[in-house]
Structure 1
Amino acid sequence: MTADARDIMVTAQEAARFRDAVQLEVRDIALAALILHFLRMPEEVEGSGAVSLSPEQLPMSDEVREIMTAGEGDLRNLDLVEMARREDSELSEYLGPVWRAIAGR
């Protein structure tokens, strides 16, 4: 196993534990690969000439645009996590511990 593959597997194990899983799943590996990709220095991922620290923003879905504009006061990380949990995506299991930590429960 290469060092990069080992890093993915170790991170995937932690991701699975984070969601209280009983086994490692493919989605844990996918999430680990994504996390490690973004943690690397930009120069390691792309040629230094092509690196942009301010990439163009993607358009926002209606749900995201609504939460960005429809609140009073500052948008909090808890607001975003709660929205993501309501959407019940495949990755929503990961958000339970995040929500509990942010909400102080």
Structure 2
Amino acid sequence: MTADARDIMVTAQEVARLRDAVQLEVRDIALAALIRHFLRASEEVEGPGVPSLSPEQLPMADDVREIMTAGEGDLRNLDLVELARRDESELSGYLGHVRRAIEGL
């Protein structure tokens, strides 16, 4: 196993634990690969003097736009997690743990 593959598998184990899994699944590996990709990309950035190569921001769905513009005060990470939990996608299993961690439960 290469070092990169090992990193993905270690991260996948942690991802699976986030949803209180009894076994590691393909979706855990998929999320771990994305996490590792973005971590690696952020490590490669040399500093604030480097111009951004990011593409333009994507248009937002109505639910996302609403949470970005509605409400009083700052948008919190918990607000975004709750929005994602309401979607009830296959990733919802991860978000209960994330919500509890944010709230300090």
TM-score, normalised to structure 2, is 0.84
**Corresponding residue number in structure 2 for 1:68:** 68
Q: 1:54 offset after TM fit, Å?
A: 4.3
**Corresponding residue number in structure 1 for 2:20:** 20
Percent identity (aligned): 84
| 1:40 partner SS | helix
Q: 1:56 offset after TM fit, Å?
A: 1.5
Q: For residues 101 and 42 of structure 1, do their structure 2 counterparts lie closer, same or farther at Cα, with a shift above 3 Å needed?
A: closer
Contact 2:19/2:93 (CA < 8 Å) preserved in 1? yes
**Corresponding residue number in structure 2 for 1:52:** 52
1:23-81: per-residue Cα shift (whole Å, max 9, x none)?
A: 0000000000000000004586xxxxxx7354321110110001011111211111111
Q: 1:8 offset after TM fit, Å?
A: 0.7
Contact 2:18/2:97 (CA < 8 Å) preserved in 1? yes
**Corresponding residue number in structure 2 for 1:101:** 101
Aligned-CA RMSD value: 2.1
TM-score, normalised to structure 1, is 0.84
Bigger RCO (CA 8 Å, 6+ sep): 2
**Corresponding residue number in structure 2 for 1:9:** 9
How far apart are the structure 1 equivalents of 2:15 and 2:25?
10
Q: 1:89 offset after TM fit, Å?
A: 1.2
Identify unmatched segments of 5+ residues in structure 2: 45-50
Q: 1:98 offset after TM fit, Å?
A: 1.1
Q: 1:19 offset after TM fit, Å?
A: 1.0
